[in-house]
Amino acid sequence: MKKLHLLIFILFTFHISINAQSYFGYTFDNYSGIHGITLNPANIVDSPFKADINLISGSGFLGSDYFGINVQDALKSDSGFDFDSDMEKFPKDDNNFFFNFDVLGPSFMFNINKKSSIGLTTRVRVFLNVNNINGELYESLSNGFDETTDFNFDIKDFNGTVHAWGEVGLTYGRILIKNEYNLLKGGITLKSLQGVGSTFFSAPTVTGQYDASANTLTTTGNLNYGLSQEDFDDDDLEFKNLTAGFGADIGFAYQWNEKNNLIVADSIIPRFTKYKLKIGVSITDIGSINYKESELTAYDLNATVDAGSFDEDGSDQALEDNYNGVTTIASTKIRLPTALNVLVDYKIKSKLYVSFATSMSLVSNNTETANSIINTVSVAPRLETKWFSIYSPISFRQYGDFAWGAGLRFGPLTVGSGAVLTNLLSDSSKTTDVYVGLKIPIYRKYK
């Protein structure tokens, strides 16, 4: 738990105002180009682009069932945002925290011929998952145990993983079936992964009591705490001594066309098929990174300690000073946040579409040394043209949160958020996100 409560606090207070399960809403757009293949690599083929070049894009997503924020009150406050006064808290026995930051660097895609396309993507990603932490204990760690009342806690299957890595992906897509009314295409992205590092921890069972009058913390159980390498610091990421790994995305998309619309089998000019209905299915982030010299420490938590030491020394130093630990060097495999994505996109009329989408984690939140996405179901109407799109996704997200967002694509510039409207209107939002991107689109020429 190396500076765990401080890390979560920093992530929230910094990214709440600038920060999406990546590019939420934008990837549904037929004109999302290189961004669309991060959701489903089959999107690379039969697109409206001759080529699409991403210059730089950034996306972030933060969520928890521990806190909720009233953005209006925070904006109205003369003193600015304050974590303690502007945050509504919902402590329970098994609170969860999630953070995802995704930077899409210089990337491109282009058509090889009328049936095949290829692309290259570069990304830097940071994921944080903390699962099943007692909210009252977390709050006490954050506040330095300045509680005035006693409390007990009983934690089951507590675990967390912070992981940062880079990736270079090579995507290939091909039209598999194409006739007057039907089109089936598939795609795959093979990824060369470069692990920056990871902090991870787990405890099957931890029980304890806090005695306010004596300011002592009594605990029972065991905690496993690890670093991907001895000198890794999740508060100061350094892109050196990288560890190689392998990953992949795979996807398919079926399109049904009400009419023979821009499908000419013998045409020498690749053409974008304007469908009536599209159904896409993909599995993303298959793979892992194996850190061969991880530092693993098993702590015996059966002790009574001065709670003030957590405030004075920080969680990592307090663990080392107050509990017996055995450290070993071993190999640790950190799994990527593998997810199943399904998209159903229906054209209501010319230029007006509605998408039904879901992203579901294929990694259980009880899995150790792994990251996972937040499960999301959404409906997203959009107005889509060549140079301009506007969309407004409505989502139901894990942790019981409802999110309503908005996004805009105007030529090379894209900005949006899957939760901006609920963040502004809700009394207590539990998730927040934002994204921005700049690219060079080169559209196809039509006859």
The confidence score (pLDDT) of residue 64 equals 86
Percent of the chain with pLDDT over 90: 58
The confidence score (pLDDT) of residue 366 equals 84
Taken in order of first residue, the domains within the chain and their CATH numbers are: 4-443 (2.40.160)
pLDDT above 50 (res 263): no
21 versus 216: the higher-pLDDT residue is 216
Residue type, 13: T
Task: Give the pLDDT confidence of 82-109 residue by residue, as tens digits.
Answer: 555 567 788 899 999 988 999 999 999 9
Average pLDDT over residues 369-374: 93
pLDDT above 90 (res 170): yes
- As beta bridge partners, residue 228 has none
* Torsion sign over Cα 61, 67, 73, 75: negative
Q: pLDDT band at residue 116, thresholds of 50, 70 and 90? A: very high
Closest CA to 337 of 373, 369, 365, 366: 373
Q: pLDDT band at residue 312, thresholds of 50, 70 and 90? A: low
Residue type, 43: N
- As beta bridge partners, residue 248 has 190, 286
Task: Give the pLDDT confidence of 333-362 residue by residue, as tens digits.
Answer: 999 999 999 999 999 998 999 999 999 999
Average pLDDT over residues 208-231: 90
Task: Give the pLDDT confidence of 132-164 residue by residue, as tens digits.
Answer: 999 988 888 877 777 778 889 999 999 999 999
- As beta bridge partners, residue 84 has none
The confidence score (pLDDT) of residue 294 equals 94
> The tokens 């990694």 sit on which residue?
363
Q: pLDDT band at residue 54, thresholds of 50, 70 and 90? A: very high
The confidence score (pLDDT) of residue 9 equals 40
Cα dihedral angle (401, 90, 77, 149), rounded to 10 degrees? 180
